[in-house]
Amino acid sequence: MTTPNIIAAVQTKWDAMTAGNFPSSTVPTLYFDEAPQVNGSGTQIFPETAGYAVVKSTSGISIAYAFGVYGKETERLEFEIYYPSFGDCMQAARAVQTEFDFSTLPALATPLVLLAIRPRTSSEAMAGIGKTGVPVHVAKLGYDFEFTRSG
């Protein structure tokens, strides 16, 4: 299924990632903007018991115009990947980088045409202590999604 929506195309690519590259061979759930307090079945979500990821739009779309040609647009997104183990957090971050660095979004539909997915920033840190006293680690991966519009 194709979509003209960048976030939906990113979600489709996320869902198709190779599970074997992630801790416990499980692709973490991806949430938009922030993780909810509970999952779909009503169970409370704790980052210290299972990994998850959040994708955030860190800026609006910037458009570079040139006279007489279509402009290049850039959507800046950041993935925040949370795991209780620093090693699991790093493994998941590298798996995401393997799938996204300089790759494509096959689910993206016209009028958007992807030019490039460029890695921008990368950082890892301890996010804090969870409710159960277990440390939670975070890896942040920033990307610029550059595209133009056809037609």
Non-local CB neighbours of 138 within 8 Å, separated by 6+ positions: 80, 81, 82, 89, 124, 125, 126, 127
Query: What is the DSSP secondary structure assignment for residue 59, as one 8-state letter?
Result: S
Q: What is the pLDDT of residues 78-92, one digit of tens each?
A: 999 999 999 999 999
For residue 144, count other CB atoms closer than 10 A to its CB: 17
- CA-to-CA distance for 72 and 94, rounded, in angstroms? 28
Instruction: Give me the DSSP letters along 86-111.
Output: HHHHHHHHHHHHHHHTT---TTB-TT
**Residue 35: predicted pLDDT:** 77
Model confidence, pTM: 0.84
Task: Please give the single-letter amino acid code of residue 58.
Answer: T
Query: With a cut of 70, which residues of the chain have pLDDT below it?
Result: 1-4, 48, 60-70, 151
Tokens 């416990």 identify what position? 24
**Residue 57: predicted pLDDT:** 86
